[in-house]
A and B are shown apart, each in its own frame.
Chain A
Amino acid sequence: MSLSNEQVNEIAHLARLRVDEADLPEYASNLSAILSFVDAMNAADTTGVEPLAHPLEMPQRLREDAVTEENQRERFQAVAPQVEAGLYLVPRVIE
């Protein structure tokens, strides 16, 4: 498995990560090495094996559909980069 710089750029875009042009070759080489390493899994025959998502295979617990969280807006917004009038601010999206 060998990834090109362009492929790394595309993956970085999907992950919303800015990667400097100069760092692309190193990421390409490292990610290719990791993907080649995980390709070793292909040595195992997994035909008909049910995937395991949760080690104890427990179902998700259900609870009453009731409000349990109290409003802590000010506490949570105190750690936000930029807020105004109780709202989170981001650059303008709609002109």
Chain B
Amino acid sequence: MSDTSKTVAELAAGLAAGTFSSEEITRAYLERIQGAGADLNAFITVTGDRALEAARAADDRRRSGDAGPLTGVPLAHKDIFCTRDVRTSCGSRMLDNFTAPYDAHVVERCQQAGMVCLGKTNMDEFAMGSSNETSYYGPVKNPWDTDAVPGGSSGGSAAAVAARLAPAATGTDTGGSIRQPAALCGITGLKPTYGRVSRYGMIAFASSLDQGGPMARTAEDCALLLEAMAGFDERDSTSVDRAVPRYSQELTGSLQGLRVGLPKEYFGDGLDPEVARVIDAAIGEYRELGVEFREISLANTELAVPAYYVIAPAECSSNLSRFDGVRFGYRCESPRDLEDLYKRSRGEGFGAEVKRRIMVGTYALSAGYFDAYYRKAQQMRRLIKNDFMAAFEDVDLILGPTSPTPAFNIGERADDPVKMYLSDLYTIAVNLAGLPGISLPAGFAGGRPVGLQLIGNYFDEGRLLNAAHRYQQVTDWHTRAPGAFA
């Protein structure tokens, strides 16, 4: 077993035992990123020298007896997280020249744990996309089939972990952007409860929905990473001041008698039959582990996507008004006057999907339309939350597919925004309600990975991770590597 095929937990154990140094494994990952992985386009920026420096510092820290469990373990950050003195592009021409003057809270936390940042991963522009095709830096390829998209928006992070270019990566999830690419690339990805992980230094898309989280190969790794990432931060006004459990120590519970709901709306029209077959098999595995299934209803599921495509664009149109060509980021050549400076800097700096969403949001918030769109969508949001709260009266977790189909081909949905939006049919409602959700590998359809989604009640990440971990103890889907990257 080569070092780069190890999980975070295995790397942590090897570092603790002195089997290898952080510098050795960091070098091995950097070689893989530049070598076998280069064609995937998973990284926007590789920070090789800084990584080796951080790895040597981690090795020193370990020698001096000061190491934590993750000290010396490499990871990659989605390029939405600000990294001090390192380009932070958010996948956009607008920030192609932007070097962040400070670190995001998540980046600081990972540094404090002694983790080594390998670089910044590719993503849909400003996290707006479900395929990674809206990136200014070009699409990422799915390591399982390079004709296919990796999903999005955290597609570079998902592809990097799947191809063993990094043992773990950070992602952000506004409507499914951790879980959907995790599903399409055959890895494990956790979207925590809204407020669990600080949004400070995470470039804002839709502030009432955005949440950062870990992406790795196993639930155990996600537990280790969430422990490092989560926690109160006064610089994020919606950060929740609540103790962070030792998630990795709580993966021991039996699933005997666990009540899991199957929302009938997640198994209806639009679900690929091959994906349905994989999810059925996973339900069978869980039954053998003692889980009791009940059919539930999340009646407003279908209206979650329309509600989201009002709320997210409305918030984005406001958040992205900060990109004005004055203080940072792209500025057009020779502006005639101030309005021309704003309009051309933004028109040239943003790509088509970002402009579409800004315009939808601007329209929805404009005089005379506010009640019909934004207010209506927020009322839908209440109904969607109520559906989940009613379900959690009777069940401990909810289970279903992460995405209705396996990875589609690059270019296949690029011309049809509405069709693209429907790939987040099962993930979006979770963000509207602010709940935690996890996607884990459960099999294959047509040779492409299929993800299983578990949804928990607020702050129930421990139970989610335990349920995912038990499944990974009796199945081996999470250990499969794409042929070209085994």
Question: Interface of A with B (CB < 8 Å)?
Answer: 8, 11-19, 27, 30-31, 33-35, 37-44, 46, 49-56, 58, 60-61, 63, 72, 75-76, 78-82, 88, 90-93
Given contacts A31-B359, A55-B432, A58-B238, contact A88 B327 (CB under 8 A): yes
A77 → chain B closest CB, angstroms: 8
Q: Considering the chains assembled together, what is the distance between the CA atoms of A51 and B373 in angstroms?
A: 12
Q: Return chain B residues, CB-CB under 8 Å to A44.
A: 300, 303, 380, 383
B434 → chain A closest CB, angstroms: 2
Kindly identify which residue among B240, B338, B366, B381 contacts A91, using a CB–CB cutoff of 8 Å: B338
**A55 B434 Cβ-Cβ under 8 A:** yes
Between A and B, 10 residue pairs with Cβ closer than 8 Å are A15-B358, A17-B350, A33-B418, A44-B300, A51-B382, A55-B208, A56-B240, A78-B99, A81-B325, A91-B341
B479 → chain A closest CB, angstroms: 34
B98 contacts partner chain A, Cβ-Cβ < 8 Å: yes
Supplied contacts A15-B317, A27-B356, A41-B307, 7 more A-B pairs, CB within 8 Å? A33-B417, A37-B305, A56-B434, A79-B98, A82-B331, A88-B327, A91-B340
Q: Considering the chains assembled together, what is the distance between the CA atoms of A92 and B339 in angstroms?
A: 11
Kindly identify which residue among A33, A41, A60 contacts B303, using a CB–CB cutoff of 8 Å: A41
Given contacts A31-B359, A51-B375, contact A40 B240 (CB under 8 A): no
* Interface size class, chain B: 35 or more
B68 → chain A closest CB, angstroms: 28
0/1 string, B381-412, CB within 8 A of A gives 1: 11101000000000000000000000000000
**B238 A54 Cβ-Cβ under 8 A:** yes
**B341 A80 Cβ-Cβ under 8 A:** no
B32 contacts partner chain A, Cβ-Cβ < 8 Å: no
A4 → chain B closest CB, angstroms: 13
Given contacts A18-B343, A41-B307, contact A51 B417 (CB under 8 A): no
Smallest CB gap from B195: residue in A: A56
**B338 A34 Cβ-Cβ under 8 A:** no
CB contacts under 8 Å to A, within B332-379, are 335-344, 346-348, 350, 355-356, 358-360, 362-363, 366, 373, 375-379
**A35 B434 Cβ-Cβ under 8 A:** no
B444 contacts partner chain A, Cβ-Cβ < 8 Å: no
Given contacts A30-B356, A61-B237, A78-B101, contact A54 B208 (CB under 8 A): yes
**A81 B101 Cβ-Cβ under 8 A:** no
**B101 A72 Cβ-Cβ under 8 A:** yes
B13 contacts partner chain A, Cβ-Cβ < 8 Å: no
B43 contacts partner chain A, Cβ-Cβ < 8 Å: no
Q: Considering the chains assembled together, what is the distance between the CA atoms of A34 and B302 in angstroms?
A: 15
Q: Considering the chains assembled together, what is the distance between the CA atoms of A56 and B195 in angstroms?
A: 9
A37 → chain B closest CB, angstroms: 5
B235 → chain A closest CB, angstroms: 9
Given contacts A40-B306, A79-B328, A81-B331, contact A31 B378 (CB under 8 A): no
B70 contacts partner chain A, Cβ-Cβ < 8 Å: no
Q: Return chain A residues, CB-CB under 8 Å to B348.
A: 18
Given contacts A11-B362, A12-B359, A58-B195, contact A41 B326 (CB under 8 A): no
Top 5 nearest A-B pairs (CB, nearest first) are: A55-B434, A18-B347, A51-B378, A81-B331, A46-B379
B293 contacts partner chain A, Cβ-Cβ < 8 Å: no
Q: Return chain A residues, CB-CB under 8 Å to B327.
A: 76, 80, 88
Smallest CB gap from A43: residue in B: B303
**A53 B359 Cβ-Cβ under 8 A:** no
Q: Considering the chains assembled together, what is the distance between the CA atoms of A52 and B380 in angstroms?
A: 8
Q: Identify which of A49, A53, A80, A88 gathers the most chain B CB atoms within 10 Å of its CB.
A: A49
Q: Return chain B residues, CB-CB under 8 Å to A79.
A: 97-99, 101, 328
B309 contacts partner chain A, Cβ-Cβ < 8 Å: yes
Smallest CB gap from A54: residue in B: B208
Smallest CB gap from B343: residue in A: A18
Q: Considering the chains assembled together, what is the distance between the CA atoms of A42 and B366 in angstroms?
A: 19
Q: Return chain B residues, CB-CB under 8 Å to A92.
A: 337
**A49 B383 Cβ-Cβ under 8 A:** yes
B331 → chain A closest CB, angstroms: 4
B194 contacts partner chain A, Cβ-Cβ < 8 Å: yes
B464 → chain A closest CB, angstroms: 17
**B326 A53 Cβ-Cβ under 8 A:** no
**A35 B360 Cβ-Cβ under 8 A:** yes
**B309 A88 Cβ-Cβ under 8 A:** no
Q: Return chain A residues, CB-CB under 8 Å to B237.
A: 60-61
Q: Considering the chains assembled together, what is the distance between the CA atoms of A66 and B433 in angstroms?
A: 34
Given contacts A27-B356, A31-B363, A72-B101, contact A55 B417 (CB under 8 A): no
Q: Return chain B residues, CB-CB under 8 Å to A55.
A: 194, 208, 385, 432-435
Kindly identify which residue among A40, A49, A54, A56 contacts B302, using a CB–CB cutoff of 8 Å: A40
Q: Considering the chains assembled together, what is the distance between the CA atoms of A18 and B350 in angstroms?
A: 10
**A93 B362 Cβ-Cβ under 8 A:** no
